Amino acid sequence: MTIKVFCSLVRCVNLIIIAITMILVKHLIIDPILRAVLIPPLLSDFTFFLLVLSVIFIAAGGYAINDYFDTAVDTVNRPGQVVVGTALSRRKALLTHITLTTLGIILGFYTAWKVGRPSLGLFHVISAGLLWFYSSSYKKTVLIGNVVIALLSALVVLLPLFYEHQIYTKMIDPFGLLQHVYMILTRVFVYAFFAFMLTLIREIIKDIEDFKGDAQFGIRTMPVVIGITNTKWIAGLLMAGTIIILGRVIKYVWTTGNPVLALYGLTAVVIPLFIALIMLIKAQTKQDFHKLSLLLKLIMFSGILSIVVYYATFMGYVPRTF
């Protein structure tokens, strides 16, 4: 198996985005607030590296098994991009999934044990199981597969928080640390919500893009069951709702004295989301929905990068006001 084939199978670009997301959440949101109250993180740099590696392995295994199950339908939806059955045998794809997933689960349990909460390793087992059942059955059922992937995207943001479990246990004491707990929880959960909503919308858009092959092979996605027009309405309402909620978050950020971060959110997330909504309304062809899917992916990444702006203003490297 060549590096090019492997990267195509496991979506190396997506894995890099996952790693960047976890690193930014841990090092630019959680750790600075912990340091401010003189509480050392539970995750050392090496242990956190193993946690990120665990998530990447499980995600990579999920991509591999998805291609394993989707070999036939991808010949219709993505001709010329099919790896399994052409550049790579189905047996090797399955073996890749088993190897990566097993390594991911082992690393997950080891990391959980290192922070004193072995039960956290169950997140990795459940995630691996959901990815298997998503590929084999959930994605063939209206909305369930979309929600599963959206939840797993949100979990990528939340895992560093779950592993720093002293945030919601030992830090709750009479010495004013509850405010810092609130700071960490609100910021991390806002980004988790953002990841969930954008992923859910993008998965629905991708289902519209893949309508032809899914309908041909009897995969009951939302566009196949209720039609493309109705699905566009649902995606549009979700997008509009997300714009409104993020708009209120940005207004709050502005009024609490951080207009730099608010303006970044407006220009890099909300306005592009509004453009995406217009594109959705006008979209007719497979190429239109593909471009929309790519735009949503870019918006997700630019939204995650707002963590850098938050950190720069929080630490005073960039003035919070003009």
For residue 50, the domain's CATH number is 1.10.600
pTM of the shown model: 0.92
Q: Which domain holds residue 243?
A: 3-314
> What letter would DSSP give residue 118?
G
Residue 322 covered by a domain: no
Q: How many CB atoms lie within 10 A of CB 94?
A: 15
Domain count of the chain?
1
The HSE-up count of residue 153 (CA atoms within 13 Å, CB side) is: 25
Residue 168 covered by a domain: yes
Residue 262 covered by a domain: yes
* Largest separation between any pair of C-alpha atoms in the chain: 62
Per-residue pLDDT of the chain (322 residues; tens, 9 = 90+): 678 888 888 899 999 999 999 999 999 999 988 887 778 889 999 999 999 999 999 999 999 998 888 777 877 877 777 777 777 788 888 999 999 999 999 999 999 999 999 999 999 999 999 999 988 887 778 889 999 999 999 999 999 999 998 777 665 554 556 677 778 888 999 999 999 999 999 999 999 998 888 888 778 889 999 999 999 999 999 999 999 999 999 999 999 888 999 999 999 999 999 999 999 999 999 999 999 999 999 999 999 999 999 998 877 666 666 5
Instruction: Look at residue 40 and give its three-state secondary structure.
Output: coil
Residue 56 covered by a domain: yes
